[in-house]
Structure 1
């Protein structure tokens, strides 16, 4: 089968949308760091929709580690397919927003030169929580990170996200060019503010004058991004290629729902993303908190407890009545009260939509994928909610079970005695603690709670939190996940 490419685009069947603009006229105005499925199924789609009217905003997609995406899409001229499916219908669209593909380690100096191009006005990021070289409990720079240490003295050949951004900004300052806007699109609390602090802290390791210039002149808008985009499977590739009649080596399969809320704080020109459905606002924080605590918090709960119950996908986990009920009750009873007012936004409808999205059988979003990097995700997805409820003297029954689910997952063996692959930046440390403690809640819970980069200092000192987590973990070990979920769900409901 021939490959999807500019030369074969005309052969696509009717009904498959394709670029409605001349790709040869599109200039690179955005450099995006982190060319994974999420960016290609979210921000790139919004950008693709506006290129007919404004071709200045093509995207140079940069992989910071692996060449796999570049190698898959380069022969396709950067084209790929996005399939949005709700289980009953599918809409397919070929995206042409990528003007180029790069792998940072192949030519780091060349990448910095691209960032210094005056036509580039935005550098955006989806590098996942672990890609920011920070302490997720505090948001502080991890100066001991090996890539940070390397880049602080080798900024012409950076390895880290922060090194790439600061290296590019330094070149622009040296050339007398205005800085680009840095647009974080990851699930970090106050992601623009957080990234700004990390960039400035890193720049101070390199050049304090540069750090002051960044602090004064560079804009870091915050964003809230929302679309469920699972990792692409071989089955997805087969299905998409059959529909196209052309081979697409790395398509994206996602859901129809998509939301992007952006703080309107750019240092210069910006794309009219609102024309393609994004929302520019003065303050992203309420939307971001709602999404982190409701969607992402529920996702992590489903991932750990669902995986322990033997459910490979979110949809399969949501077919478990007790788990689905626990997640719904947690969102309504324990999370919603911690959210700020959203000026007429219907949170009840949003929760209902989330439950429907989680049940979408077309996505096949693997629980093991969501469970990755839990040490980086827990603080903003679950622990902040727990802290807010404890400050109000409110119970945390279901939230504590979610944290205990992570601890049970970290123990390294499932309920059938099979090993659990722990993929986490702190994997070695977590596994060492778990191995030493063994499958005993009274030892394992305190051991993991001692990891201050995850839990900080306040929660591990609060017996309302530690006792609840240890009790839930003990039940997971002794009774198993299904029984524990059922008992805690019913007990929490009866206690009101």
Structure 2
């Protein structure tokens, strides 16, 4: 296999597409905080396309690593060895996969090892956009009050030690403070996470942190920095060692950080950039004055359906999304959820019929080549459920609609938190935002206790005795008959 770096691009197999621009002329104009697989298969791809446009050489990406872990340190070293290059392999539902080298990440700074270097990069006048993929739970919001949690340990550290930040907010606010002091224009803060009104959430987090540090700085940020809302979409699985070997065998490239995804990709954005932007509309990004309708459809149809299938799938003994989709009980459950509980509550934007979108979503989930892991979907459920299902639950309860599938969802969630599937096989629920008090509620003798997990408190489920009763009933059915049998009875 050919090792991947800037000197070996000409040696790669001909079937591997290479950057369609002179990468040696590219300079950094975007810093991206937390360079995960989704960013590399989504935003970095759009920027890679932009770099081939005339006059766009100044829009390369500098990745900023913020999580201090062995995995992230290894990634930083891999990016260094490979000069920021990596392969992306795209798997359509039908037909052959295609692979390309993505060249838009031209620099990488691992902030835990060198926070000064990270701040210097973010303070550079050349940086005009700072984008984020820090996950739904990464914005540090209290689910009950919606307030930014200033008492979180890393946030408290950053407020006390602004020159050595550990969080995205500490980095952004200190960089903006340095730019203000130097008379340098600010950058746009661009959230690329699966959150409703993600730009507004990022704005609230940044301003809350800045206000706690210096109210005048917060006022300057509020007056000068823009936070566009956007909707992002592409299924991008994790890449365990077996998939890494599979991808490299397919490409013939010895890539330490390969990534793969489905062929579907979408990005809808507000055009609010305070310091310029690349010509994203020329490479497939859709700009609109109102992202809300697109956000609602994506979050409440695609992301919510991912959650709806993930628990019965994992508890039923499946480990991959396409395996669960092949079970007729789960497929019928998802169709009922979309047709009865979701689509009637949504208004489609022009040119986006919801029934067609439903069919596309289910087809994407069933793609066997993706090998998307159910454990990826269930991870950090405490943060995802309010974001992806909160509006649907609210509408069902306030309008007196059928809530049974939603009560089942939370009953299956409670079962998932116990960490054992219906066959008795243990697994580790990946729930970084679950507190010790929450964990005690999972195992409490009161069958309603899991509804009091702190991230669910904003849903106010106790106001509906019928919902609570169905939650308890489905917990008992799952314990007695199993999750898949309960799904079948629910939709039979």
Specify if TM > 0.5. Answer: yes
Shift of 1:137: 4.8
User: Any idea what SS the aligned residue of 1:342 has?
Assistant: coil
2:168 paired with 1:161: yes
Shift of 1:385: 0.7
Show the counterpart of 2:97. Answer: 90
2:79 paired with 1:73: yes
What is the 5 A alignment of 1:267-306? 267-306=274-313
Q: Distance in 2 between matches of 1:232 and 1:314?
A: 15
2:41 paired with 1:35: no
Whether the aligned pair in 1 keeps the contact of 2:309 and 2:324 (CA below 8 Å) is yes
Higher mean alpha-carbon deviation, 343-352 vs 20-29, is at: 343-352
Q: Cα deviations across residues 150-171 of structure 1 (Å, max 9, x unaligned)?
A: 1111111111121111111111
Whether the aligned pair in 1 keeps the contact of 2:66 and 2:110 (CA below 8 Å) is yes
2:476 to 468, 474, 477: 474
Higher mean alpha-carbon deviation, 48-57 vs 356-365, is at: 48-57
Counting matched residue pairs gives: 484
2:442 paired with 1:434: yes
2:83 paired with 1:55: no
Shift of 1:401: 1.3
User: Any idea what SS the aligned residue of 1:105 has?
Assistant: coil
2:178 paired with 1:171: yes
Q: Cα deviations across residues 97-134 of structure 1 (Å, max 9, x unaligned)?
A: 01111211011122111111111000000011121111
Across the aligned residues of Structure 1 and Structure 2, the Cα RMSD in angstroms comes to 1.5
Q: Distance in 1 between matches of 2:466 and 2:185?
A: 51
Show the counterpart of 1:425. Answer: 432
User: Any idea what SS the aligned residue of 1:29 has?
Assistant: strand
Gaps of 5+ in 1: 438-442, 491-496
Q: Distance in 2 between matches of 1:226 and 1:137?
A: 27
Whether the aligned pair in 2 keeps the contact of 1:409 and 1:420 (CA below 8 Å) is no
2:18 paired with 1:18: yes
Whether the aligned pair in 1 keeps the contact of 2:143 and 2:458 (CA below 8 Å) is no
Higher mean alpha-carbon deviation, 202-211 vs 386-395, is at: 386-395
Show the counterpart of 2:106. Answer: 99
Q: Structure 1 residues 241 and 425, CA, compared in 2 at 3 Å: closer, same or farther?
A: closer
4+ residue stretches of structure 1 with deviation over 4 A? Answer: none
Q: Distance in 2 between matches of 1:171 and 1:334?
A: 49
User: Any idea what SS the aligned residue of 1:349 has?
Assistant: helix
Q: Cα deviations across residues 305-327 of structure 1 (Å, max 9, x unaligned)?
A: 10000110110000100111101
Q: Distance in 1 between matches of 2:283 and 2:188?
A: 20
Show the counterpart of 1:388. Answer: 395
Q: Distance in 2 between matches of 1:417 and 1:310?
A: 9
Whether the aligned pair in 1 keeps the contact of 2:386 and 2:455 (CA below 8 Å) is no
User: Any idea what SS the aligned residue of 2:253 has?
Assistant: coil
Q: Cα deviations across residues 42-71 of structure 1 (Å, max 9, x unaligned)?
A: 000000011022111100011211213212
Q: Distance in 2 between matches of 1:413 and 1:406?
A: 12
What is the 5 A alignment of 1:122-161? 122-161=129-168
Q: Cα deviations across residues 385-433 of structure 1 (Å, max 9, x unaligned)?
A: 1111221121112122122211110123222333331211233333222
- TM-score when normalising by structure 1: 0.95
Q: Distance in 2 between matches of 1:488 and 1:464?
A: 16
Higher mean alpha-carbon deviation, 235-244 vs 3-12, is at: 235-244
Q: Distance in 2 between matches of 1:373 and 1:247?
A: 32
Shift of 1:230: 0.1
